[in-house]
Structures are given as structure tokens and as C-alpha cells.
Amino acid sequence: MQKAFLVRQEQPIMIAMPPQQRVALMLTASIVGIAVSWLTTTPFGLLAPVAALFVYARLRTAPLLLAILGTAFAASILAAFFFSDGMRDVASLWAAFFAVALCIGAIIAAGMSASSGAGVTRAAMRSTPGEGASARANKWIAGVTGASYEEGTAPGGPPSLSIKKAEEALWVRERELSQLIDMTPSHLWRLTPDGEPTFFNKRMVDFLGMDVADTDKLGTSRLEVVIGSVHPDDAAEFRNALNRCLVTGEGFAMRYRLRRADGIYRWMSSRAEPLRDQDGRIVQWYGLCHDIDDQVHAEEALRRSERQLQQLIDAVPALIWCMTPEGIPCYLNKRVTDVTGISLKDLLAPDGSRYLTVVHPDDRDAVDRGLARSFETGAPFVGRYRQRRSNGPHRWVESRAEPLRDECGAIIQWYGVSVDIEDLIRAQEALRERERELSQLVDMVPSLLWRLTADGEPTFSNERMVDFLGMDVADTVKPGKTRLEAVIEAVIHPDERAELRKVLGRCFVTGKGFAMRYRLRRADGVYRWMSGRAEPLRDDRGEIVQWFGLCHDIDDQFRAEEALRRTSDRLAQATRVASLAELSASLAHEMNQPLAAIVASSHACHHWLSAEPPNVERAKVTVERIIRSAGSAADVISRIRALFRPAPQNRSSEDVNHLIGEVCRLMTDEIAAKDVHIQTNLEPNLPSVALDRVQVQQVLVNLIRNAIEAMDAVVDASRALQIRSCRDGLNAIRIEVRDAGTGFKDAERAFEPFFTTKPHGMGMGLSICRSIIDVHGGRLWSADNETHGATVAFTLPLAVAETS
């Protein structure tokens, strides 16, 4: 047994530590844990003082501590269950802490039976009279292990059982403390009073890739080897700070970059405190390094973000300011100071209230009342006022402020922004001035101006139109009727209402411009002729937004034109009568001589034949004279017919479509006066035709004028005249003139000379036209349309044109 005892003693065991060293170790562990908890802002560093509390607690006190921790754990679980997201995370963190503390407390309490007899051991070690060394050893073992004196000894033998239990208990305590130091989420280290490293915990060894023994280098101290792991930019400052602390005994605290085993530098927050003996001399230095690399980078990112945000706030082309919930200015961005030349203190009165020195004196009271109302009610603030400038006169600004509220809805701060709107104010004033000028221009224009929506509802009438009609747009609202219909029934002459509705409806559907003549009733009830026109306003997509139109009073012009037309008709009739009289006189004059000769010769022939015997020879001579006189009369008739059948002599190659266009342009005024719309459908690329330009134009003018006059009586139907050109087979070109009139009453006789259906017509127009077309080798005919109106067409043969 003695041999076994000796062998057991040779193994490395932890002997009982002196009380002062135990206290120092527990105190150091507690300080380290509190420091770690402070650096990491988590409660887990507090596990060290909790473990120390269990170690020094009495056997009866340990269950009470366990109960307290259990209660705290249950309370944390309930808090995590009932609280919101932010508080739930905090409660969950503390619940985890109390759970780990319970585990550590239970482990230490379970081992308390091996250490609960420490006081008994010390008492048993005291010498008593007659007691030998063996007895004292057995009492010490019983105190450490908790075993009785009889249980731990064998008669005549060494106390091997009690020593074994003591070794196991000490080994368990040493392992727990070592695990606690190694599991602490920081790098723990110890230095001698002169700064030589003597201990690294496992986390520090793993981080550096070396232990204390690896710092023994020939010709250099351990501390210098460790400093070699510090970033070169931080090594000198680290060395100086640590040496200063070793000399003065002050606590060490510093941030620096430490090289990891893989060569990467990471930021560390290092702290160290000296352990002193009863005389105040430094015995050892205990320190820790906490990895704050992520925190440093986050702080750097935060500073960078704050710097960027500050730059953004200062660069924003607006004046940004903040106020407390009570309305006291507390922040101005750089642009406020640069633009206005005031600082934050300039906005504070001597009594600490706000003083709006930046606001123009004339606007200050109104702005202050608006701010006070917003601060009282919490409603956003919006105001326009004149603001001072450091280098010139006041300028108009628009200020807006919104409150920032906490989770409970209480206002934390007011954030505001002021934007320079001086140019906007000037532009608005200029725009209002332009609007006044435009309104005056619209009202002074000597026409009636109006505006319609895209679907035709009236929205505006200028002052002249309101005065003329005696009503405004608001007066057109009638139950059961649209505004447009109410206007048409109220002011348009009954004879033109249907046509106006039809024309406007077609314009609204097709989007084409509106143009029409109609009578409009004046406020005194008199109808006057108007020339109405309107064009659509379109957006970027081509959709009609509005219609803008005008009515121009043409009543005097219209009546003058009517008088002129009547005078022209009378003049034309007089001209025709004079021409007919002249023709008759010429005809009589020309025919008188041959007819007189015929009469005289007839009498002579009768005389010679009545003689006895008849003088036949003389009678023959007289008959021959009669025949010659008749020939002379025929020649006269031929010359007169030549006036109505002029033979084309000078022909040129002409474009038929171009010729039609010229005729339409020549007759523009006459067409417009009759309110007729010409629609042309001309086939492109028609070959040129050799023709007498004047005579074919005469034919087209006659046909177009006949078509216009044929539609004089048309009111309901559209007064449209269509002119069409196309190929008629391979060797001819056909031209058609189609009207919407009443058609021919007797189409077979229409081309007879002196046949007419017009009250004042001579009946020679179509006859002359047919004669001209016949001379050109073409054909002229007419036909009634299927619905209404008639078509007159003629052809011009290409073969004849080409050979002519």
C-alpha cells in the first residue's frame, strides 16, 4: 500500500491552493468575464462571476442560487414569448444565459460534496496532543473528500482511498476552470511584472498559431516575439503603451491589428489589469484580447455611410433643418449656413426659444403661427415665405416639415426642408401676365372663338361670343340634352341645324377640320351669316384632346355676294340678249342679200317661163342664179355654225389631272360661294393627251358649273361634287363629273341646241361641249346616279391624240 501511495504521488496532481491565490484566481476570472460581457455586449461573460459565486457558496446556499437562476430562466422564456420582435431577441439571449448558468451551477453543486469539508480539514490538521502525522493526514483527507476517518484509513496502512478522492476532486476543479478559461470567447493571457508572457488560453494559441513556449527566441524577449504579430502600423504604439503601463502600473487598453495564424490581420480590443499583493506590488498582469474586426469594419462602414449621408445632405440643393418636438432649432445643414449666412445660435432667442431671424419680417408672424400650429397638432408644415440671403435680397422659398415618431407615436424630432422657388414665383407671375395678355387677345379678336372637348362638348367661349349670343357655356346646361345639342337648338338657324349636326358629327369621327357657313342668332334675335371653322388639337400619340374653332361674321359679305351674283346674272342675261340680237342682226344682214337675190331671180324666172313662147334659156340662167344665191346663204349659215363648232387647230400634249386641278383652282370662289365640297379621285400616272387646252377647260368649266347649279336645291344631302379620271380601256382616258343634285328630267334631249331646264338658260352649253369633244374624237354622255344626282362623262382617245 505504501508503494502504491508513492506511485500515485509521482503523477501530476493539483494540490490544495493557498486561500489568497484562490481568491485572486476567482477574482481574475470574474473581472475577465465582466470585461468580456462589456466588450461583446452579451451577458455570457457574466458566467465567470456566477461560477465563482457557486464555488464560494455554502452547501445550503447552492440550492437557493439554483432556484433563483431557474426562476430567472422561466421569466426570460415568458418574456421572449410575449414581447415584440426587438424585446424578444433580448429576452431569448438572457434565457440562454440563465440556462448555461444553471448547467454550470448544477455541475459545481454536484461537486460540492468533495469540497464542502474544507473547513473540517483545516481543523483536523491542527495537532492535538498524542496525535501522530498519520492521523493528521487521515483527518485532512476526510476533510477534502468528505469521507469519514474510519472510511478513509486501513489498520496499519496509508490513506490511499482518501488521497485518490482528493486528487479526483482537485482534477475536476482544475478541468472546470481550464474549460471556463478556454471557452471564454476572448483571448486571455498573463504577463510577469516586467511584461514577459507566461500564459495564453487555447483560443489565443489557436489564433496566433503559437503557444508561450514558441515565443522563446534566442536574442529577443518573449514580449518582442508577441509584438511581432502586431500589425507594423500599430506595433510601435502598442509597445509604447504597454511599456508605459508596466512602468506606471496603470491599466492597459488599446485597439490594434493582430496577425492570425493564416497571416490575416484582424482588429483586437485589448485590456489588461495588474494583480497586486498585500503590499501593493504587481505580481502578474492579466489581460484579454477580444476580436472586434467585424465591429471595426461595421463602424468604418457606418462612419463611411454617415460621411456619405452628411455629404449628401450638404450637397442636396435644398436647405435642411431639424427641430425638437417643442419647436427649437437643433440642426442646420451646411447649405443653410452658406446660403443664409446664419448659424444655429442665430435662430435661438436669449430665453432659448426659436427666433426666425432667417424669415422676412413681413412673413415672420405668419410662419411662426404655422409652425406653432404644426408643433401643437402634429400636422405637417407647409409654407411659402421670403428667406434672407447672405449675399443679396430675400428670396422666396417653400418649406415643408414632417414629424419623426417613435413606436408609440410620440414625436421625436421634426425634419424640414426649404427649397428656393424664387424663379418659380417669377415664372408664375410671368405666366399669369401672359395669360392675362392672351385672354385680352382672345377677347379682342374680331371673331367668335370657342372650344370643344374631344367628344364635342362646349367648354369655352370668348367674351365677343358671349356678348353676341347673350349666353355663356354655363347657360347651355339643359336637362336631358348635351351642351352641344342645346347650343345648336338655341342659336343655329333651323334651316342649317341638320346639316351642321351632320358635318360636326363627321368631323368628330374622322378628325378632319370643320368648315361651314351657317346662320347664327344674335342676342337680339337676328340671324347673321357666319363662316365657322375648327381644327383639332392632338397629343403626342395623335389622339384628339380638344377642338378650337371660330365663327367669323360674314353677313354683310354674304349679302354683298348675293347682290353681286344677282347683278351678274342680270348682266349675263343682258349680254345673252345683246349677243342674240347681234347674232340675229348679223344673220339678217348676211342672209338679206342672198335671199333678195333669190327672190329677184325667182320673179325673173317666173317672168321668162310665163312668156309666149317660154324663154327656157333665160329661165335656166335665172335658175342658175337662184342656185348661186342659195349657196351664198348656205355659206353664211356655215360661218354662223362655226361660232358654235370651233375646230381645234393648236393642240398640245397635256396632263389631264393637272388640267382638272387648274380648273378647280379657277373656280374656287364660285365653289366656296355655293358651299360645295369638291372630291377628286384622279388616277396617277395617266399618259398625256394632245388637246386644245382652252376648249377642254371650257368643257370642264361648263360641266362643273352645271353640276353646282344642279345642287342649289339640295339641303339635306351632302353638297359634294366628285371629279374622277381613269383609263377607259387601252386607248382612251375617261373624265367623270358627278353631282348630288336632282338629276336630268329629260336626258335624251339634254344635248339638243336651245333645250334647257334653267329659267334663264339658252340651251347651248352641253351642245357646244359635245361639239368640242366630237372634234377631239371623243364621246360625251350623261346618266342619272343610282341614289341621287347625275354623272356627265366624256372620253379623249389616245390614238387620235397621238396621231394629231
Summarize pLDDT for 72-117 with one digit per residue, the tens: 777 777 776 666 655 666 777 777 777 777 777 777 766 654 444 4
Q: Which domain holds residue 528?
A: 445-553
Poorest-pLDDT segment among 154-168, 457-471, 512-526, 560-574: 154-168
Assess if residue 516 is contained within a domain. Answer: yes
Give pLDDT, residue 761: 57
**pLDDT more than 90, % of the chain:** 30
Give pLDDT, residue 71: 82
d(CA 779, CA 770): 7
Assess if residue 311 is contained within a domain. Answer: no
Give pLDDT, residue 325: 93
- Of the candidates 147, 158, 154, the one whose C-alpha atom is nearest the C-alpha of residue 124 is 147
List the grid coordinates of 337: 449656413
Poorest-pLDDT segment among 95-99, 318-322, 526-530, 754-758: 754-758
405 and 334 within one domain = yes
Give pLDDT, residue 172: 82
Q: What are phi and psi of 285, to 5 degrees?
A: -110, 130
Give pLDDT, residue 638: 65
658 and 629 within one domain = no
d(CA 24, CA 329): 54
Domain boundary residue among 146, 181, 216?
A: 181
CATH number at residue 276: 3.30.450.20
- Of the candidates 241, 247, 119, 136, the one whose C-alpha atom is nearest the C-alpha of residue 194 is 247
pLDDT tens string 198-248 = 999 998 999 999 998 888 888 889 999 999 999 999 999 999 999 999 999
Better pLDDT: 643 or 521? 521
64 and 164 within one domain = yes
277 and 232 within one domain = yes
The answer to whether 743 touches 788, Cβ cutoff 8 Å, is yes
CATH number at residue 672: 3.30.565.10
Poorest-pLDDT segment among 19-23, 299-303, 448-452: 19-23
The answer to whether 284 touches 190, Cβ cutoff 8 Å, is yes
Domain boundary residue among 513, 533, 553?
A: 553
Question: DSSP letter at 251?
Answer: P
787 and 732 within one domain = yes
Poorest-pLDDT segment among 359-368, 610-619, 713-722: 713-722
List the grid coordinates of 637: 349659215
DSSP-based three-state secondary structure for 397? strand
Q: Indicate the number of domains in the chain.
A: 6
166 and 17 within one domain = yes
Give pLDDT, residue 441: 79
d(CA 576, CA 580): 6
| 600 membership: H or E segment, kind and range | helix 555-610
The answer to whether 689 touches 725, Cβ cutoff 8 Å, is no
- Of the candidates 75, 497, 743, the one whose C-alpha atom is nearest the C-alpha of residue 83 is 75
Give pLDDT, residue 474: 83
Can you list the pairs that 22-29 forms with residues at least 24 positions away whose Cβ atoms lie under 8 Å? Answer: 24/275, 24/283, 25/177, 26/52, 26/55, 26/56, 27/52, 28/275, 28/286, 29/177, 29/180, 29/181
Give pLDDT, residue 775: 84
pLDDT tens string 466-493 = 989 988 888 888 888 888 888 998 899 9
Give the mean pLDDT of 162-170: 76
Assess if residue 606 is contained within a domain. Answer: yes
Domain boundary residue among 505, 522, 553?
A: 553
Q: Given pLDDT bands bounded at 50, 70 and 90, which one contains residue 273?
A: very high
Assess if residue 609 is contained within a domain. Answer: yes
* One-letter amino acid for residue 303 of the chain: R
Give the mean pLDDT of 45-68: 72
Poorest-pLDDT segment among 265-274, 412-421, 623-632, 658-667: 623-632
43 and 176 within one domain = yes
| Nearby residues of 223 by Cβ (< 8 Å), 6 or more positions away | 191, 195, 196, 197, 242
Poorest-pLDDT segment among 131-135, 462-466, 595-599: 131-135
d(CA 799, CA 778): 11
Poorest-pLDDT segment among 307-316, 557-566, 706-715, 757-766: 757-766
For cell 372637348, what's the residue? 453
Assess if residue 309 is contained within a domain. Answer: no
Give pLDDT, residue 785: 84
Give pLDDT, residue 625: 75
57 and 22 within one domain = yes
For cell 510577469, what's the residue? 192
546 and 584 within one domain = no
Better pLDDT: 553 or 589? 553
For cell 440556462, what's the residue? 99
The answer to whether 776 touches 691, Cβ cutoff 8 Å, is yes
Give pLDDT, residue 704: 87
d(CA 234, CA 203): 22
Q: Is the pLDDT of residue 16 over 70?
A: no
418 and 332 within one domain = yes
Select the highest-mean-pLDDT range: 178-182, 242-246, 703-707.
242-246
Poorest-pLDDT segment among 478-482, 519-523, 585-589: 585-589
Give pLDDT, residue 564: 83
Buried b (16+ CB within 10 A) or exposed e, 711-726: beebeeeebebbbbbe
Assess if residue 89 is contained within a domain. Answer: yes
* One-letter amino acid for residue 47 of the chain: L
Assess if residue 717 is contained within a domain. Answer: yes
662 and 759 within one domain = yes
Better pLDDT: 548 or 118? 548
Give pLDDT, residue 120: 42
Give pLDDT, residue 141: 47
601 and 636 within one domain = yes
Q: How far is CA 289 from CA 188, 267, 314, 574, in A?
A: 7, 10, 39, 128
- Of the candidates 711, 664, 718, 654, the one whose C-alpha atom is nearest the C-alpha of residue 687 is 654
Q: What is the mean pLDDT of the chain?
A: 80
d(CA 145, CA 171): 13
pLDDT tens string 640-658 = 665 555 544 567 888 999 9
d(CA 597, CA 36): 156
Select the highest-mean-pLDDT range: 168-177, 355-364, 627-636.
355-364
Give the mean pLDDT of 289-296: 90
List the grid coordinates of 599: 327672190
**What strand order describes the sheet that includes 282-291?**
197-200, 187-191, 282-291, 265-276, 252-259
Better pLDDT: 577 or 795? 795
What is the secondary structure of 273-315 as a DSSP string?
EEEE-TTS-EEEEEEEEEE-HHHHHHHHHHHHHHHHHHHHHHH
Assess if residue 453 is contained within a domain. Answer: yes
